[in-house]
Structure 1
Amino acid sequence: MTGRPRIPELLREPAFRRYWTGQSISSLGDQITLLVIPLIAVSALHADAAQMGYLAAAGYLPYLLLSLHAGGWADRYGRRRRVMIATDLGRAAVLLTVPIAWAAGLLTLFQLYAVVLAVGALSVFFNVCNPPLFVALVPAGQYLRGNALINGSRAASCVAGPGLGGLLVQLLAAPLALVVDAASFLTSALFLHRIEAAEPPPAEAGRGSAGQGLRWIRRSPVVRAALLGTATVNLFTFVISALFVLYATRELGFSAGLLGSVLAAAAVGALLGAAVTGRLAARIGVGPAFLFGLVLFPAPLLLIPLAGGSVGTAAALLFGAEFLSGAGVMILDISAGAIFAACIPDALRSRVFGAYQAVNYGVRPLGSLLGGLLGSALGLRPALWIAAIGAVASGLWVLFSPIPRLRELPGQDGPVDRDEPADQGERNEQPA
């Protein structure tokens, strides 16, 4: 008697399976690097607090400066899979310069800044090319499932990556651990090379192509509301992130081990969110699922400034906050990815994503800066209250938009920019 296949339908398609496998391995390598790069700066290069701040900011700066132009270029160039392969190879090469320079005794903090900037810039181009390739590989009826698989593996990497990174640093010197991330990019490039996808054709160059994505978002009530909601929630949650470690250790008395356990709860919650998003969207609708995620992501963070009393009580509250928030952000990301895949025209897909990314990532360092200012001026707990309340209020942008009324995935939303031919880029799905 044969049982029902347990492998998801999309993973039985060779092209998507290769795409998903490459993305999953690369995500694991990214999580290792998120831990290892700061450790290199601290342990090998003796960076101070200000220099660590510059290093963190360097990772986001390319998203703010390059996303708009990268999206316009990617839509005009058209060969997104080739670009993604090139950026994977480039990121691997850039990361390998760190252990090479360290072995030669030449590694400096300025090189580390340059590496983070270069990896960030290449990631911008990879990211704006990724949505068109996803749409080329995934049938329209499978957008939620495809996003759940991609984000689920990302959540799993958040669980396993930091522990694996710490183990590698213990077994090897910190710079040598970056070889693993370089290998993950090479593996991603290999899997992308083995994919054949009917990508949307290149768009014709038009006036002001870098700004076409922003203009389209402004005219689209669905994506405009989503951008305002997610950018607002990111601004305030990065205020919380900037203060969280200091608050947990100084005011709540957490040890480093307890703090790590609390932070790991978010990744476990994200796994749960990835598992339930499809069923939730089927029951209440994809738009209400988006709104639910946008509320569930920040609402538990109100428990953070509320925490007090014994260390055990405070830890229980923060564990719950991180777990539920992790589930919420995954529901938000998966439903958002499906909605965007369905409603953004192929001819503008990279430009719209580039514009969205420029705003959504651009507010993050601003949130960190605002967190420092509020924490210094008002104290940690009052600043956390302001940030948590502001993050919850981000749902108001979406509440009065068409998104809560979206029971099913929408059609392509809004006209193509006047400088672009309206008949370009009908969706090409990967044949079975």
Structure 2
Amino acid sequence: MRSSPYWPVISHPTLRRVLPGVAVSSLGDGMAVVAVSWLAIQLAPASVRGAWVAMAAAAYTLSGAVGALLLRRFVQHRPPAQLVCWDAALRAAALGAVPVLYTFGALGIEGYVALLAVSSVLHSWGQAGVYTLIARVLPERDHLAGNAVLSGVGSVATVVGPPLATLLIGCGGAATVLAVDAATFLVLAATFLVVPKGSVPEPEAGTASRSAGFAVIRRSPALSGLLALTFAFFFLFGPVYVALPLHVSDDLGSSAGGLAAFYTAFGIGAVLGSVLTGFLNRWRLWPATAGIVIGFGVLMLPLGLGAPTGVSIVCFGLAGLLWPPYSSLSTALFQRSAPGALLPQALAASSAVRVLSVPLGIALGGPLTAGLGAVGTLRLSGAGIVVVGLVAACAWGLRAARRCRRPAAGAAEPARAGSEAGTDTAKEAGARP
């Protein structure tokens, strides 16, 4: 165990304090994956259920991108533990209001969507705070392992959460699940509230403009290209959040337990993927990320090609295997490339783009399912992801070919330009993400 790449992470004194809180809140979110859509299905009029399910799922994440853009002036210089604490407290309050209003019969679909939106306003900054903490307390060589631990905790919660949500929905309804989710965020807030001052190193003070995070990304071809790939990948996956619940409930005639089976399979694959991620620190970035995207899309296709339910669940689980490596590898590049003083801003900017892409895809899922049906939407999503991965692979191949043709005498100047952009030539080539 001590020779594992994960030992420096789980044995670090600061991380030992906060990881239990992260695990508890991740479990709540694992249950909310089922409950958010299921409660929307219950509250929305039958004639427009698809649109309201899309709006509920989008609201749960979209406002995080808005908060990342509009609240930067007020929160960008806050300590990372404080960012996580504020995000967790807001989510606990907004999500906790859902079961209260539902109990008194005062919760309509419009109010439900509004509360989901409020709950996520600070979520991009909360996520940035967690990964900034990882980057500041661990040496660079352990960043990927730290990211993988966080991803693994979330993956385990995705396995355990949906079955627990199914049991709670059967006993007390979907609103009960959101009450439990709110309580888990209170635990997370309390955990980060007691992080000792001085236990998280602070970078040298620096001035950061309002657009500093995006400026760091824009100056680095590796970061901007990776963020473009991530946006397209997540955008095309977004419609699945609308199509899959409707496919389970309408096409398969199943209950919340059927939807939980898909998410649980995805979570099992993600747990295994998280365990493997810590050993991938020597993978070349662009071939790895493009290959992951292509493989993910291929594994999504059976859901839209009429495969038997068992086969679809297995393929969805194998797709989950690829999710943590992509997330952790791309986050590690940001942690290593962005200047320390600007790391929260760069991570929040990245998170804003990622958070925005999924809700946009979810919003597209509403009209897609209305026009193509749930199965047709799933088929289009998988095929689109494959195409995006192939384009990224071709782009990397062309860049690698140009690099090979570049005269050796002229190699010094591009290397110096890459250093000024916040990342060295090796990182831009993806040699060590």
TM-score category by the smaller chain? Answer: 0.7 to 0.9
* Alignment partner of 1:198 out of 195, 201, 216: 201
Match in the other structure for 1:188: 188
Q: Is the 1:290–1:332 contact (alpha carbons within 8 Å) kept by the matching residues of 2?
A: yes
Q: 1:322 Cα shift? A: 0.5
Match in the other structure for 1:128: 128
One-letter amino acid of the counterpart of residue 337, structure 2: C
Q: Is the 1:288–1:403 contact (alpha carbons within 8 Å) kept by the matching residues of 2?
A: no
1:56 pairs with 2:51: no
Partner Cα distance (1:234, 1:164) in 2: 26
Q: 1:46 Cα shift? A: 5.8
Partner Cα distance (1:411, 1:139) in 2: 24
Give the 3 Å change call, closer, same or farther, for CA 47–138 of structure 1 in structure 2.
Answer: farther
Q: Which runs of 4+ in 1 moved over 6 A?
A: 3-7, 402-405, 410-413
Partner Cα distance (1:231, 1:118) in 2: 23
Q: Is the 1:343–1:411 contact (alpha carbons within 8 Å) kept by the matching residues of 2?
A: no
Partner Cα distance (1:46, 1:381) in 2: 21
Matched length: 399
Give the 3 Å change call, closer, same or farther, for CA 316–38 of structure 1 in structure 2.
Answer: closer
Q: Is the 1:28–1:160 contact (alpha carbons within 8 Å) kept by the matching residues of 2?
A: yes
Partner Cα distance (1:227, 1:37) in 2: 27
Secondary structure of the residue aligned to 1:255 is coil
Residues 125-164 of structure 1 deviation map (CA, whole Å, 9 limit, x = unaligned):
3123333222112221111111111100100000111222
Q: 1:250 Cα shift? A: 5.7
Secondary structure of the residue aligned to 2:279 is helix
Deviates more, 1:192-201 or 1:366-375: 366-375
* Alignment partner of 1:353 out of 347, 353, 360: 347
Partner Cα distance (1:411, 1:148) in 2: 31
Q: How does 1:384-423 map to 2 (within 5 A)?
A: 384-395=378-389, 396-397=391-392, 400-401=395-396, 415=420
Percent identical residues: 25
One-letter amino acid of the counterpart of residue 296, structure 2: F
Q: 1:73 Cα shift? A: 4.1
Unaligned regions of 5+ residues in structure 2, if any?
Answer: 401-414, 423-433
1:340 pairs with 2:334: yes
Give the 3 Å change call, closer, same or farther, for CA 47–128 of structure 1 in structure 2.
Answer: farther
Unaligned regions of 5+ residues in structure 1, if any?
Answer: 309-313, 418-432
Deviates more, 1:117-126 or 1:147-156: 117-126
Partner Cα distance (1:55, 1:389) in 2: 25
Partner Cα distance (1:20, 1:412) in 2: 38
Match in the other structure for 1:311: none
Deviates more, 1:232-241 or 1:287-296: 287-296
Q: How does 1:279-318 map to 2 (within 5 A)?
A: 279-282=279-282, 284-285=283-284, 288-308=287-307, 314-318=308-312
Partner Cα distance (1:14, 1:296) in 2: 38
Secondary structure of the residue aligned to 1:400 is helix
Match in the other structure for 2:405: none
Residues 160-184 of structure 1 deviation map (CA, whole Å, 9 limit, x = unaligned):
1122223233444543443322221
Give the 3 Å change call, closer, same or farther, for CA 213–303 of structure 1 in structure 2.
Answer: same
Q: How does 1:232-243 map to 2 (within 5 A)?
A: 232-243=232-243
Partner Cα distance (1:239, 1:40) in 2: 18
Give the 3 Å change call, closer, same or farther, for CA 87–392 of structure 1 in structure 2.
Answer: same
Q: Is the 1:36–1:177 contact (alpha carbons within 8 Å) kept by the matching residues of 2?
A: yes
Deviates more, 1:284-293 or 1:193-202: 284-293
Partner Cα distance (2:248, 2:105) in 1: 37
Q: 1:31 Cα shift? A: 2.1
Residues 227-255 of structure 1 deviation map (CA, whole Å, 9 limit, x = unaligned):
1111111122223443334456666x463
CA RMSD of aligned residues (A): 3.3
Match in the other structure for 2:410: none
Give the 3 Å change call, closer, same or farther, for CA 63–247 of structure 1 in structure 2.
Answer: same
Partner Cα distance (1:186, 1:378) in 2: 41
Q: 1:362 Cα shift? A: 1.8
Partner Cα distance (1:104, 1:381) in 2: 37
Residues 191-221 of structure 1 deviation map (CA, whole Å, 9 limit, x = unaligned):
2123231233554253xx1x33223222211
Secondary structure of the residue aligned to 2:278 is helix
Q: How does 1:105-184 map to 2 (within 5 A)?
A: 105-172=105-172, 174-184=174-184
Q: Is the 1:239–1:370 contact (alpha carbons within 8 Å) kept by the matching residues of 2?
A: yes
Give the 3 Å change call, closer, same or farther, for CA 133–69 of structure 1 in structure 2.
Answer: farther
Partner Cα distance (1:268, 1:187) in 2: 25
Q: Is the 1:214–1:352 contact (alpha carbons within 8 Å) kept by the matching residues of 2?
A: yes
Secondary structure of the residue aligned to 1:86 is helix
| TM-score, normalising length: structure 1 | 0.80
Partner Cα distance (2:232, 2:376) in 1: 19
Partner Cα distance (1:137, 1:228) in 2: 29
Partner Cα distance (2:107, 2:306) in 1: 42
